[in-house]
Amino acid sequence: MIDLSAQHPKRTPAECLREIADFAEQAGCDSLDVYGKGESLQRFEAEVAALLGKEAAMFFTTGTAAQQAALLAHAEPHSSPEALVAGKPLRSPASSPDGERRFRVLVHPTSHLVFLDCLRDGALQRSHFDDRAQANLPDFEVVQWGSSALESHMAVVPDSFELTSPGGQPAEKGDVVVIELPQRMNGGASMELAHLRRLSQECRQRGVG
């Protein structure tokens, strides 16, 4: 049997806590991070904002929370000021059971926003998309766009996309179209840059986020 911990020095919990305390003093961490209000975290956000040339930056503790915020950030600019004050988008083809308005999001059938890290093959994709979309994107109406080789039970992402759902419904003003690069389910392949630029231009022309 190999002891993988043999290369690490043995330390007591008290020694570890003293080391953390010394580091906190040296780094100037004078307050605890409580829901994103700690000094060290705010310094980090300011550093990232300056690096990217932005007014501000926000750190999210999980990628799932960041995805939800990014979707809303791209959807709300297409809402009217009156709609934003009321908390409702300009165009909303769907409502949740409690009557609240929802933005429509177009994602690929293999989208990581829907399946997180749980998508294994096309059979799972075929039968669980709606359930996973409702569970992981509850504040949005999620529409599939693009296609995959379902008959082979392999979630292979094709190289081309169209801004139209399988039912023939095109993306419209107020929608958000999600393009995930590199594509996770085909070994990290990506689309051609020219095609990506065409989609970006088409989204701008349609007022799509």
Per the structure, the count of domains in the chain is 2
CA pair distance 121, 143, nearest whole angstrom: 19
Span 125-129, average pLDDT: 72
117 and 38 in a common domain: no
pLDDT of 156 over the 60 cut: no
Closest residue by Cα to residue 74 from 206, 174, 172, 187: 174
pLDDT band at 51 (very low <50, low <70, confident <90, very high): very high
pLDDT greater than 60 at residue 131 = yes
- 74 with 136, same domain? yes
Q: What is the dihedral of CA 42, 46, 52, 53, to 10 degrees?
A: 140
3-state secondary structure 40-87: HHHHHHHHHHHHHCCCCCCCCCCHHHHHHHHHHHHHHHHCCHHHHHHC
Identify whether 5 is part of a domain.
Answer: no
Domain finish residue from 5, 24, 52: 52
One domain for residues 131 and 77: yes
**Per-residue pLDDT tens for 2-12?**
677 667 778 89
Would the pLDDT of 53 be above 90?
Answer: yes
Q: Is the pTM of this model over 0.75?
A: no
Domain boundaries, position 111 = 63-206
**Are both 93 and 135 inside the same structural domain?**
yes
Judgement on whether residues 103 and 140 belong to the same structural domain of the protein: yes
Rounded Cα distance, 134 and 96, in Å: 10
Q: Is residue 1 situated within a structural domain?
A: no
